[in-house]
Amino acid sequence: MIPTFDMRCAAFSGQRLIAEGQPRDVLPAVKAATDAGEGVLVFDLTTGRPVEFDLRGDLETALARLPVAAPEPRKGPGRPKLGVTAREVTLLPRHWDWLAGQPGGASSALRKMVEAAMREAEGPDRARRAREAVYRFMTALAGDLPDYEEAVRRLFAGDRTAFEAATVDWPQGVRDTALTIAEPSWAIRPPEAG
């Protein structure tokens, strides 16, 4: 994954945390460790995915290649671009009849229903994404640490206390990063397996 300017990431040399923050703050430590012959892994703290820096050249050259904040879109007269995309939707005739009778028409009613469903699923979706992110991170960096399997089971069971207990003997940087990435997953318990 290519870094974005506002991403939060953590860099590890082996299982030692060497830097954490935005790419501009992390890259100098990554460059120094790499130039010293150390193997370095960098992770996005939101997705748990690896982040790749282009470290060719000196530090200033590598920093210059990092993305900068996107410019503010130009505002002018006229209707703003909403990014509307037309796609086909297949519904039964009674569904079309109901949609046609809604204020604003079928498109407006469908947009409102989708927005409501997205708001309702926001918490569980955020928790699921956090569990998947910390699992990716742990698989890459903690797979050979004590109680790794137990930590994974406790993560997907939504048991924060047992997860913390399973990771207590891990190197502090690995443990703290796993807990940071997992934080949103504790808000909602995963559904019971059945």
In tens, the pLDDT along 131-145 reads 999 999 999 999 999
Q: Considering only residues 106 and 191, tell me which one the structure prediction assigns the higher pLDDT.
A: 106
> What average pLDDT does range 80-90 have in this prediction?
74
**Residue 18 phi, psi dihedral angles, 5° rounding:** -110, -20
Residue 80: per-residue pLDDT: 59
Which one is predicted more confidently, 164 or 93? 164
Amino acid at 28: P
pLDDT over 90 (residue 3): no
**Phi, psi at 152, each rounded to 5°:** -65, -45
pLDDT for res 70: 64
Coil, helix or strand for 169? coil
- Report, as an integer, the average pLDDT of 33-58: 95
Mean pLDDT of 8-24: 95
C-alpha radius of gyration, the chain, whole number:
22
d(CA 60, CA 28) in angstroms, rounded, equals: 9
Strands of the chain (E only): list them.
Answer: 9-13, 16-21, 40-44
**Close Cβ partners of 67 (under 8 Å, ≥ 6 residues apart):** 2, 3, 4, 5, 23
Q: What percent of the chain has pLDDT over 90?
A: 59
pLDDT at 192 over 70: no
Q: Is the dihedral of CA 13, 19, 20, 21 positive or negative?
A: negative
